[in-house]
Copies of this chain bind each other. A is one copy, B any other.
């Protein structure tokens, strides 16, 4: 009898943590479990007066982690004869990001202290928090002037979603929290450190993926931006720089062994290898069999696009791309990240806010069913997908949504379809930009929550993008990628794998479904896309004398002024 080996992947998403137990030999998914975060609205702490704010309570991660792992192990015991927790050979963790949290000298989150329990600035600053847009502007301005190389790999701009913008914001609006923090850690670093008992900032292994994509880390200039640069923003940031880090680690390397404390809490063997963390999208790409020529799209509340590119081939800096980081997905390859700040969130907003639904009315299912019966272009509608700003290629959070073409006959399902189409057009802008710079995108692998639930979206994407959409083999690609990281951290001697490519060959199955573009629809969408680009450029690009570029920005400035009255 062959002794089976299992690996455990954790995926800390926006609303919940998912745990997936997979067979290390072939990637078969044995069991999964999900724990919803307790605080705020769906796990997200919001503030009415500050619409850009989105935070999470660190205690939710800790409780969610424990509860999801215990549940998945229970489920595995029921589902699989011969399974025991002893046979889990490795763990990995994916997380949203940039989601930095302030921690004390021992690495403990400041928000877990009684003094700061309720302080919004002491919580984890969730990836989609946009309060730091002013600070992002300052960082971008200074870097463009003095260190353009810092931004060359992240599209020429530093985002309000990212690490230093958020820390700088905290320093300016809540100095008491900044002062109480010894340093700041990404959620994707905090979790492996928590599990391995290496929260001590001097010992904690920081992951290459979040550091490179969100904190301007690059080996070329010896790590993070210099003390001198950060000091030009604020001298206290220079002080913080000394308490941050220089080295980073890819997700195939171990962060350490499971600590006795967490071994006890979870019932797993002490010392079980725990891989270094990575961002959820990047591990999702690993779990979706990322390879050159193939774009992995993780389509959920927002979208992340991941492409890998061999280090042996030339690669230009791609303007407007969120990031190009050596080894952020697969060691030996550049990991390219692009993305859209809101996708599923836009459809949810439409259904929950505008379709104030009576019984059976205005559900996603009903709207999608009616929308599916429409021909491309027959609604006369066109939308921009900027309800949460634009991450790629404009890199501008101060952009907003737009819906155009409505008449008195426009139906809700038409608007719903136009919103899906808008996100597909946004996706095409990204692909076109990549190909303009020589990075080919021949097919799409789609994963993420929406892919499982919305077949209409897949067909529209295939038609708009003019490319096959392969539905990723796993419905939990980020958790599977995390489990694969655990299997690689464990290594072949324990029944795991030597590297990611071996793990992918063994553990990634064939696409569950292939959606092909319909040529007629692709032609019509070509016409609509040209109109989309006109709106995109008029409202999104600061051209000489463009009268519309300031409109969204002026409205947001007025909004913020009026809300503060």
For A533, give the chain B residue with the smallest CB separation. B547
- How far apart are A470's CB and chain B's nearest CB, in angstroms? 29
B408 close to A342 (CB less than 8 A): yes
30 sample A-B contacts, Cβ–Cβ < 8 Å, listed by A number: A51-B407, A342-B408, A345-B408, A349-B408, A353-B411, A356-B356, A356-B362, A356-B412, A358-B359, A377-B555, A378-B559, A379-B559, A382-B551, A387-B408, A387-B410, A400-B405, A402-B406, A403-B403, A403-B404, A403-B406, A404-B551, A404-B552, A404-B555, A405-B552, A527-B554, A527-B558, A531-B551, A531-B555, A538-B538, A538-B547
Chain B residues near A353 (CB-CB < 8 A): 410-412
The answer, among B346, B358, B410, B554, for a CB contact under 8 Å with A531, is: B554
Q: Is A438 part of the binding interface, using a Cβ–Cβ cutoff of 8 Å?
A: no
Interface residues on A, range: 35 or more
Interface residues of A in 351-368 (CB under 8 A from B): 353-359, 361-362
Chain B residues near A563 (CB-CB < 8 A): 375, 378
For A554, give the chain B residue with the smallest CB separation. B531
A401 close to B412 (CB less than 8 A): no
In whole angstroms, how far apart are the Cα atoms of A168 and B547 in the complex?
Answer: 39
B411 close to A401 (CB less than 8 A): no
B402 close to A407 (CB less than 8 A): no
In whole angstroms, how far apart are the Cα atoms of A75 and B136 in the complex?
Answer: 70
Q: A534-B548, A551-B382, A554-B531 are in contact. Are A402 and B403 (CB under 8 A)?
A: yes
In whole angstroms, how far apart are the Cα atoms of A531 and B387 in the complex?
Answer: 19
Q: Is A1 part of the binding interface, using a Cβ–Cβ cutoff of 8 Å?
A: no
Q: Is A562 part of the binding interface, using a Cβ–Cβ cutoff of 8 Å?
A: yes
- As a 0/1 sequence over residues 229 to 252 of chain A, the CB contacts with chain B under 8 angstroms (1 = contact) are 000000000000000000000000
In whole angstroms, how far apart are the Cα atoms of A242 and B548 in the complex?
Answer: 51
Q: Is A319 part of the binding interface, using a Cβ–Cβ cutoff of 8 Å?
A: no
A400 close to B387 (CB less than 8 A): no
- As a 0/1 sequence over residues 384 to 427 of chain A, the CB contacts with chain B under 8 angstroms (1 = contact) are 00011000000000001111111111111001000000000000
Q: Is A512 part of the binding interface, using a Cβ–Cβ cutoff of 8 Å?
A: no
- How far apart are A545's CB and chain B's nearest CB, in angstroms? 11
Q: A356-B361, A377-B558, A377-B562 are in contact. Are A405 and B412 (CB under 8 A)?
A: no
- How far apart are A422's CB and chain B's nearest CB, in angstroms? 12
- How far apart are A199's CB and chain B's nearest CB, in angstroms? 33
Q: Is A112 part of the binding interface, using a Cβ–Cβ cutoff of 8 Å?
A: no
Q: Is A79 part of the binding interface, using a Cβ–Cβ cutoff of 8 Å?
A: no
Q: Is A565 part of the binding interface, using a Cβ–Cβ cutoff of 8 Å?
A: yes
Apart from A358-B361, A377-B558, A378-B562: 14 A-B pairs, beta carbons within 8 A: A349-B406, A354-B415, A356-B358, A376-B562, A379-B559, A401-B403, A401-B407, A402-B405, A403-B404, A404-B555, A531-B551, A531-B555, A537-B547, A538-B538
- How far apart are A120's CB and chain B's nearest CB, in angstroms? 16
The answer, among B354, B359, B400, B406, for a CB contact under 8 Å with A412, is: B354
Q: Is A202 part of the binding interface, using a Cβ–Cβ cutoff of 8 Å?
A: no
Chain B residues near A387 (CB-CB < 8 A): 406-408, 410
Chain B residues near A408 (CB-CB < 8 A): 342, 345-346, 349, 387-388
In whole angstroms, how far apart are the Cα atoms of A166 and B167 in the complex?
Answer: 65
Chain B residues near A558 (CB-CB < 8 A): 377-378, 380, 524, 527-528
Q: Is A180 part of the binding interface, using a Cβ–Cβ cutoff of 8 Å?
A: no
For A413, give the chain B residue with the smallest CB separation. B353
Q: Is A381 part of the binding interface, using a Cβ–Cβ cutoff of 8 Å?
A: yes
- How far apart are A117's CB and chain B's nearest CB, in angstroms? 25
A548 close to B535 (CB less than 8 A): yes
In whole angstroms, how far apart are the Cα atoms of A342 and B349 in the complex?
Answer: 26
In whole angstroms, how far apart are the Cα atoms of A378 and B321 in the complex?
Answer: 32
Chain B residues near A402 (CB-CB < 8 A): 402-406
Chain B residues near A375 (CB-CB < 8 A): 562-563, 565
Q: Is A556 part of the binding interface, using a Cβ–Cβ cutoff of 8 Å?
A: yes
Sorted nearest first, the 7 A-B pairs with minimum C-beta distance are A358-B358, A380-B559, A378-B562, A401-B406, A377-B558, A356-B361, A356-B362
In whole angstroms, how far apart are the Cα atoms of A376 and B551 in the complex?
Answer: 16
Q: Is A115 part of the binding interface, using a Cβ–Cβ cutoff of 8 Å?
A: no
B555 close to A380 (CB less than 8 A): yes
A404 close to B412 (CB less than 8 A): no
For A411, give the chain B residue with the smallest CB separation. B353
Q: A51-B409, A387-B408 are in contact. Are A524 and B562 (CB under 8 A)?
A: yes
Interface residues of A in 328-358 (CB under 8 A from B): 342, 345-346, 349, 353-358
Q: Is A561 part of the binding interface, using a Cβ–Cβ cutoff of 8 Å?
A: yes
The answer, among B51, B349, B355, B359, for a CB contact under 8 Å with A355, is: B355
For A535, give the chain B residue with the smallest CB separation. B551
Chain B residues near A535 (CB-CB < 8 A): 548, 551
B406 close to A400 (CB less than 8 A): yes
For A559, give the chain B residue with the smallest CB separation. B380
For A528, give the chain B residue with the smallest CB separation. B558
Interface residues of A in 82-103 (CB under 8 A from B): none
In whole angstroms, how far apart are the Cα atoms of A404 and B376 in the complex?
Answer: 22
- How far apart are A523's CB and chain B's nearest CB, in angstroms? 11
- How far apart are A390's CB and chain B's nearest CB, in angstroms? 12
Chain B residues near A388 (CB-CB < 8 A): 407-408
